[in-house]
Amino acid sequence: MPIISDWDAVSKVLHQPFPASVVKALPGVATKDGTKALSMLYVDARAVAERLDAAVGPGNWDFGFEVLHNDLKHMVVKGRLTIGEVTREDVGEGKTTGLAGENACKGAVSDALKRCAVLFGVGAYFYRMPQLWLAFDNQKKKFIDEYPYERELKRAGLKT
């Protein structure tokens, strides 16, 4: 990997908030009556890879993983993300979710990439966003309301 000479410039790109078009919200814990759920923001691994490409170029970062646990339904991997000459490691977890569900390996590797990237600042602001309880359809297991992402970014003093 080449040496990064301007980490300040790279860091600014890595730390930028994502545009609303790539941010999704998953329901977390729901209220006892199931009418509201805690909203948890995330982006998929492709958005993270695109951010890394934008920050340093596609040939200037590398990601690898090592399987720590695999029982075909549940997998844990240790991911290793290197940008320039700096490496960060974290674990990722994935579960198989039925016949048409997500593959445990894909989920674990994607999770590890995202968790490693957070250690470089990618999406780290998600952890500083206010926790919002949104209207929730407990039968369909999905939000009725959309997360007001742009409004909450402004309230947090951030912009895309």
Contacts 24+ apart (CB under 8 A), 58-64: 60/1, 60/2, 60/4, 60/84, 61/1, 62/1, 63/113, 63/116
Phi, psi of 53 (to 5 degrees): -60, -45
The band of 38, judged by pLDDT with boundaries at 50, 70 and 90, is: very high
pLDDT top residue among 102 and 126: 126
Quick one: average pLDDT of 95-109? 76
What are 103-116's pLDDT values in tens digits?
888 999 999 999 99
The band of 19, judged by pLDDT with boundaries at 50, 70 and 90, is: very high
Quick one: average pLDDT of 121-144? 94
Q: Compute the distance between CA of residue 89 and CA of residue 132 in angstroms, rounded to an integer.
A: 30
The band of 130, judged by pLDDT with boundaries at 50, 70 and 90, is: confident
The domain made up of 7-155 has a fold known as Enolase-like; domain 1 (3.30.390)
Going from N- to C-terminal start, the domains of the chain cover 7-155
Residue with tokens 């952890």: 127
Quick one: average pLDDT of 124-149? 93
- The rounded mean pLDDT for the chain is 92
